[in-house]
Chain A
Amino acid sequence: MSHLKGLIRGEFERLMRYRIIQVGFMVSVLWLLVMFLIGREEARAFIPLFIFMDVALMTVMLIGAGLFYERQENTLKSMMTSPATMAEIIFSKLISAVYIAIQSAVFLGLFAYFFFDASVNFAILIPFVLIIALAHAMIGYAFSVWMKDFPTLLAATMMYMIIFGFPTIFYSLDILGEGLETVLMFSPTHASMLMIEFSFGEEVSTTLIVIGVIYLLVVAFVLGRYVVFPKYIEKAIKE
């Protein structure tokens, strides 16, 4: 892992130059504006949802967009013919994405705490965001290696949002009934949402949280081991 530091530094430089970090920050600011507009009570209720959107979906987009640019510019192949290992290359991107997700969640969490009297347990929120971002970074990776170009990547992210994100959002808004809880646990977004809600002091069964954590870690591992690593190499070579 001797090249990791250099790769992470390069990754941050790249994400800044491609304005990916700035766009992520703008989205966080947008959620803040929405919070101020909808009022204190509603904002407190919606903060976990905003953090979920910011962490889960923005991570998918951030990883996907970043990798799309790299494929377009053939830089993966160049990195693969350097002494950095494939694991180091992928981990550098994961670490950067997870760091940005944590920063964003902490930023929103602090605002929620200071301006809306939200109860936030950062000691729980931060490790949960790490797991959520890790799983969604792998989903973003999987999308970017499966999809041919940026429009199809966007379409895939939208489909993911419709299939997995909306039911979770509807459930948290009480539009979907409680009977669907078990089914929804198969959705990475729902597991993520429950974990964020838990860190904001909402009543969530500990069993569901444990299942959610294990489920997201399994999603990250399976996608990483069987999709991302082998396909990433294949894509890089085919550029």
Chain B
Amino acid sequence: METVFKVNNLSYMYKKNRVQAVKDISFEVKKGEIFGILGPSGAGKSTTQKVLIKLLKDYQGSIEYLGRNLESYDNSFYEQVGVGFELPVHFSKLSAMENMKFFARLYRKNADIDGLMKAVGLFEDKDRLVGEYSKGMKMRLNFVRAMLNEPEILFLDEATNGLDPKNARIIKDLVRDFKNKGGTVILSTHLMNDVEELCDRIAFISGGEIREISTPRELKIRYGKRILTVEYRLNGETKERVFDLDGIGKNEAFLDIVQNHEIETMHSGETSLDDIFIQVTGERIDEPS
């Protein structure tokens, strides 16, 4: 699979407060994958993203975009890239459609704006001033803004933050559609649910360093316990037993329970990404960055 971004030993320090926000991180993003950057507030997610979208320049290390040094690209780089910011980025006294037309004029290629507005459920409100929009509506408009130029790579920063479950679902479905059409997504988030549903691979970032990179499934297997907890009925009471997954098919006690008792629940020892993150970094993710 083609490598879209190849990041080698990337470090970034903000000059003003001399804080090293990103420390010697390396990773690759493949074409057509959804790559999640996961971490708590101040972990370095947004800084990493800002470097990749060429907003921050004086970094150490090397970044290749489609096999070429990222720095060698001029602003035409943005013809291929869509950026969905964490905060609303619109002119509040212009209507949603006027905003989108304003930004669309800056690109050679334009998506079907009406279609995008319909997809995110804003078409009916397209002529309303953005200042009258709710936060959720502004976030959906952010997504439309990011998709205006039919990008090949989509950077999303907390794309579903502040959205109700129905609208978060709409955005997640659109992200998945984008991937299915061959698009690459780099998603910075603190929301485990988004990561579990969308990401092919994730990088756990904490204190500016990448602590772990893998697929959600692989991480769950690696950090989970190979056990099976069974709750079953015995003499009118609920009993619980824990079995080792290895050799469970030949475990007589387990087979006896399964064959002769009413099973109430069965849970494998798969752990949540939240727990894995805490195990890996010693930190908790509860705030948006």
- Total interface residues on B, CB under 8 Å, equals 29
1/0 per position for B155-169, CB-CB distance to A under 8 A? Answer: 000000000000000
Contacts of A152 in B (CB 8 A): none
Contacts of B81 in A (CB 8 A): 81
In the complex the two chains form, is A13's CB within 8 Å of B98's CB?
Answer: yes
Question: A176 contacts the other chain (Cβ, under 8 Å)?
Answer: no
Question: A80 contacts the other chain (Cβ, under 8 Å)?
Answer: yes
Question: A182 contacts the other chain (Cβ, under 8 Å)?
Answer: no
Say how far A189's CB is from chain B's closest CB, in angstroms. Answer: 31
Bound complex: CA A236 to CA B55 (Å): 9
In the complex the two chains form, is A17's CB within 8 Å of B91's CB?
Answer: yes
In the complex the two chains form, is A74's CB within 8 Å of B89's CB?
Answer: yes
Contacts of A10 in B (CB 8 A): 102, 105
Bound complex: CA A140 to CA B121 (Å): 40
* 8 A Cβ contacts from B66-82 to A: 74-79, 81
Question: A40 contacts the other chain (Cβ, under 8 Å)?
Answer: no
How large, as a class, is the contact surface on chain A? 20 to 34
* 8 A Cβ contacts from B17-67 to A: 50, 53, 55-56
In the complex the two chains form, is B106's CB within 8 Å of A3's CB?
Answer: yes
A residues adjacent to B (C-beta < 8 A): 3, 6-7, 9-10, 13-14, 17-18, 69, 73-75, 77-85, 236-237, 239
Taking A18-B93, A74-B87 as contacts, is the C-beta distance between A79 and B50 under 8 angstroms? Answer: no
In the complex the two chains form, is B55's CB within 8 Å of A80's CB?
Answer: yes
Taking A77-B55, A237-B50 as contacts, is the C-beta distance between A82 and B78 under 8 angstroms? Answer: yes
In the complex the two chains form, is B94's CB within 8 Å of A237's CB?
Answer: no
In the complex the two chains form, is B85's CB within 8 Å of A74's CB?
Answer: yes
In the complex the two chains form, is B87's CB within 8 Å of A81's CB?
Answer: no
Bound complex: CA A212 to CA B21 (Å): 46
Chain B's closest residue to A84 (CB) is B106
Bound complex: CA A236 to CA B89 (Å): 11
In the complex the two chains form, is B53's CB within 8 Å of A74's CB?
Answer: no
In the complex the two chains form, is B88's CB within 8 Å of A83's CB?
Answer: no
Bound complex: CA A75 to CA B98 (Å): 13
In the complex the two chains form, is B50's CB within 8 Å of A73's CB?
Answer: no
Across the A-B interface, give the 6 residue pairs with the lowest CB-CB distance, nearest first. Answer: A6-B105, A78-B89, A82-B106, A10-B102, A81-B83, A17-B93
Among A9, A69, A74, A83, the residue within 8 A (CB) of B107 is: A83
Question: B215 contacts the other chain (Cβ, under 8 Å)?
Answer: no
Main secondary structure of the interface of A (DSSP, over half): helix
Bound complex: CA A83 to CA B50 (Å): 16
* 8 A Cβ contacts from B140-174 to A: 145
Say how far A96's CB is from chain B's closest CB, in angstroms. Answer: 14
In the complex the two chains form, is B106's CB within 8 Å of A6's CB?
Answer: yes
Among B55, B88, B92, B94, the residue within 8 A (CB) of A81 is: B55
Question: B108 contacts the other chain (Cβ, under 8 Å)?
Answer: yes
Bound complex: CA A85 to CA B93 (Å): 24
In the complex the two chains form, is A237's CB within 8 Å of B55's CB?
Answer: yes
Bound complex: CA A77 to CA B53 (Å): 11
Bound complex: CA A78 to CA B107 (Å): 13
In the complex the two chains form, is B94's CB within 8 Å of A83's CB?
Answer: no
Say how far B92's CB is from chain A's closest CB, in angstroms. Answer: 6
Among B50, B74, B79, B91, the residue within 8 A (CB) of A75 is: B91
In the complex the two chains form, is B106's CB within 8 Å of A77's CB?
Answer: no
Q: Which of A7, A78, A81 has the most CB of B within 10 A?
A: A81
Bound complex: CA A73 to CA B89 (Å): 6
In the complex the two chains form, is B55's CB within 8 Å of A14's CB?
Answer: no
In the complex the two chains form, is B90's CB within 8 Å of A85's CB?
Answer: no
In the complex the two chains form, is A82's CB within 8 Å of B103's CB?
Answer: yes
Chain A's closest residue to B78 (CB) is A83
Bound complex: CA A82 to CA B87 (Å): 17
In the complex the two chains form, is A83's CB within 8 Å of B108's CB?
Answer: yes
Among A9, A74, A75, A85, the residue within 8 A (CB) of B105 is: A9
Bound complex: CA A239 to CA B89 (Å): 10
Bound complex: CA A84 to CA B81 (Å): 13
Bound complex: CA A106 to CA B87 (Å): 41
Chain B's closest residue to A10 (CB) is B102
6 residue pairs from A and B, CB less than 8 Å apart: A78-B83, A78-B90, A81-B53, A81-B55, A82-B107, A236-B55
Q: A6-B106, A9-B105, A17-B91 are in contact. List 10 more A-B contacts (CB 8 A).
A: A6-B102, A14-B94, A18-B93, A73-B88, A79-B103, A79-B106, A82-B103, A82-B106, A83-B77, A83-B107
Contacts of A14 in B (CB 8 A): 91, 93-94, 102
Contacts of A69 in B (CB 8 A): 91
Bound complex: CA A74 to CA B157 (Å): 14
Say how far B12's CB is from chain A's closest CB, in angstroms. Answer: 12
In the complex the two chains form, is A83's CB within 8 Å of B79's CB?
Answer: yes
Say how far A175's CB is from chain B's closest CB, in angstroms. Answer: 42
